[in-house]
Structure 1
Amino acid sequence: MFRRRLSLVLVLLAAAVTLQGLAAVVAVREAERQVVRGRVASDTLQRFVELSSTKQRLRAWATQHQIGAGGAPAERDTLVERMQAQLQSLVALARDAETMGLAEEAPEEHAARLDALRVLTHSVAQLGAAVREMQPLTPEVQASAVWNALTAVFEQSEGRDLRELVAQSIAREQAAMQRERAAADASLARMRALWIGTALALALGALAATLYFGRALRRPLHALADGARALQQGQLHHRINLPGRNEFADAARSMNAMADELERHRQRELQQRQVLEATVRERTADLHQANESLQRTDLRRRQLLADISHELRTPTTAIRGEAEVTLRGGERPASEYREALARIVDISRQQGKVIDDLLAMARTDMETFSVAREPVVLQHQVLDALALATALAAEQGVRLQQQAEATMPEPLTVFGDAQRLTQLVLLLLDNAIRYSHPGGRVDWCLRVQEGSAELLVCDEGIGIPAQELPQVFERHFRGSAARQHRASGSGLGLPIARALAQAHGGTLELQSPWPLGAAEGGTCARLRLPLWHGAQGGHAALLATPNTGMA
């Protein structure tokens, strides 16, 4: 089992690291001890040198004081206190050396050190008492005697030469310092060799374990990785072949079992998804059809309301105009009242027909109209529409005028619905009147052109910009000039007129500006309807009826 072998190797490596750490701790402590011993030896040497230097300065002070060349008592006390402090430091260092085992390793050296410290301590006490009692020389005192006395105080103590004693102590401490430094260097070298050796041993052991486990783990890890990639790519039929009874074989068997289970789930999910997608497609199609039906219903509803508002405005205005004209002024003959009422009845009948059309358009498309097919003399429907438009023209202050041509056209017969044709012509006249300026004029002309009956309705009104001409027959479109001239309006008149023309097999076109080449303004509507086969005439002709005077 890989786990057991790996655990064993890790335990061995941990034990080796622990041993290395213990050895390092021991080596570090030994090195620290050697370094401290070297520091003690160095400090002892330094204090002996400082003591010798301070003793020489104190002797110089005594000489100056005796010859009267200076030497303040404060400086003397400072030098004496310094020598005493240096001796106390040397005594403490000697005790430290004894504590660290230096006395046992070099007993003669330590005994000499203690003896020197004892003699120097006694000498410093004598020096302190002597220099405090020292007075400047007088002429009666012999200088040689004073010098000998001063030399005896500074150079002799307990019958021993202090200079030689200090020199021997300095030499002895130098040797001790060199010895301790060499011992510290040797300890550091041993510690370095121990670290390098143990580090190499651990590195070789780790390398050997890495090579062994690398070879042992390469094949099962690659097999597991290949299996995982295959599962990630959806290859659920892939199986990992790792025989044996170790951790990797157990993992391979688990992954193979997981692949089997995933493949079964995939098959079930695929079947469920196909059923769900079919159901969703069916429901989506139903919803789409329902949504389209609702949108068409809503669009027809809104169009019906707009068409009702537009289509009922013109007949209502005509009825009001007829009534106002009839009521204007004094009493009239009964025949005039009957004519006015007859016109109002005609307008009302046409209004009822318009309402029927609006209801039909709401149920189907806008282009669908109920058109009765019969021969109709177009001149009669034009005159009826002119009669109905007269009241609207008077209200707007616009004159309706036939183009002044002398010849009389023959009857122009078309095959269609008389009431629809009246409605179509009235829409063209209504559009020209509403978008003319007050005091303007609307010209009309009926003629035969290229085998068809052609009606022209031309105004001097606001005109249509060239870039908006292709859109004028779109439902609810109103040009910028139209909106500025007249805020109200639904943009349905021209689309309905064109639909009526097409229902009769004809065409409706607009030209603006009019006349052609004008700087601005003016629009001309050109309606063409196919003549009935019984109709005769191919040359251009005008309606022969005299100018009715409608203005």
Structure 2
Amino acid sequence: MFRFRLAIVIVVSFCFVLFLGIALYWGANQVAGHFQRSQMAYDAFDHYEKLSQEAYRHFKQRMDRQITDSPAADTGVESSKQRLYEAMQELRNTAVAESHGEDRQDKSAELERVAHFTAFLDAGEYRFDEVERLRQQGKNELAVKALSKFSEEEIDGKFQPLIDAAIDAEREKAGKAKQEMEDLVAQSRWVAILASLIAAIFSLLSGALLFRGVKKPIEALMKGTDEIASGNLDYRIALDTGDEFGYLASHFNQMAQELELQQNKLREGRLVLEKRVAERTVELHQLNEELKRMDNERREFLADISHELRTPITVIRGEAEVTLRGKDRETEEYKDALHRIVELSMQLGKYVNDLLFLARAETANLQFEWERLDLVELLSAAVENFQVMAEEESMSVSLDAPEGPVWVRGDKQRLRQVLFILGDNACRYSNPGGRIAVALQVDGGIASFSLSDQGIGIPEEDLERIFDRHFRSKNALASRDDGKGLGLPMAKSILKAHGGSITAASSENSGSTFTVVLPLVSPD
């Protein structure tokens, strides 16, 4: 698989880099170690040189003291002795520090040389002190011989060879460390060059192999994308490599198949949509024809109403003019004229009401004046009006309401209009001698009042349509022909604006009950 091959290349390349980094780090540490050893050898060399100079200076001061015997010579001896022991201490510290980075044999040799120097200096001080005692005893010749013997045998014969051996040893160690450092640098250089060459060769070979394995699948995928982009959804990529590219090609083919299916579905959906658009166009044409018909009917209705309005107005004016022109008429004649005028006025009022309902139904842009009002008071006043209308048909009206106020928020005139619509329907479609019952209840946060009558009722199949404009049930049409089916839709629209609702329950020839629900408000 391609991921496996790519992972191998990455791991091997990482190993090359890691190996090269470790080799360079190790080489740098080794170079630093050799450099440190070389530096310490040069430092020890300097300390030996300083020790040699201070020792010879001290020896010279002691010899001068034996010859001159002056206080100045004593001061110089003490000063040179102090510098000699400081130089010896520095050499000892350097030897101890240098021994930490050397092997056991070099460490022992270095410490042994330091011990020899220390022992020699202590012995030298003892010999100088012995010469000093001989001189103080007056044995000058013996003192001179002893001092000469110490200078030849000890200083020239032992101290100088010891210093030379120590300096040669340190010079040899410095040269050895320098040579090892140069050899290590050369080795590190060749290791870096070799590792870089191997890494470069491996990178070229692995890159060529990966490119060769990727070129064909990518070309196949690019060709497939070009075919799909050009709209050839039937094209399929023939690539069965068993790796990620094969997996991608199979999913690409699956995607192309899904796109082809979706395109077919879209084509079918477009045909269905065009068919539905054609059907809706026919329906809209039919509705337009129906609207034209309704508009013609409305115009005819307005023309008829206008004609009917002109007729009673003309008759009323004529009756009044004739009556006024007559001078000596009987009282009965005046009564008959006034009776005809009253009848025509009532007919005229009915036509005016029809026009008002028609105008309200078509504008549907009612204006409201909101206030907090008592629903009990509003129902009580409305029931008194119902009683006046019900007296003509010998009907009774009753009210069942709580004693206290029931507060709602609304437009008083609009809610009274709803009550008049319900009361007028109850009086017009109830049988003479019937009863109209109004009941108000409060439940939680709502108030509901119902108006029940004992009239003709509403057929079950027409009950769901009584709130549609211009609809009248079949028994209402048979009972009275002076309605336009606008009252209940108007009442529903007003109650909806108040956040309430109206429902109806009825059965034919058994009366109807209309229930209105309104939300309560706080009495404050």
- After TM superposition, the score normalised by the length of structure 2 is 0.42
Question: Which protein is richer in helix relative to its size?
Answer: 2
TM-score (norm 1): 0.40
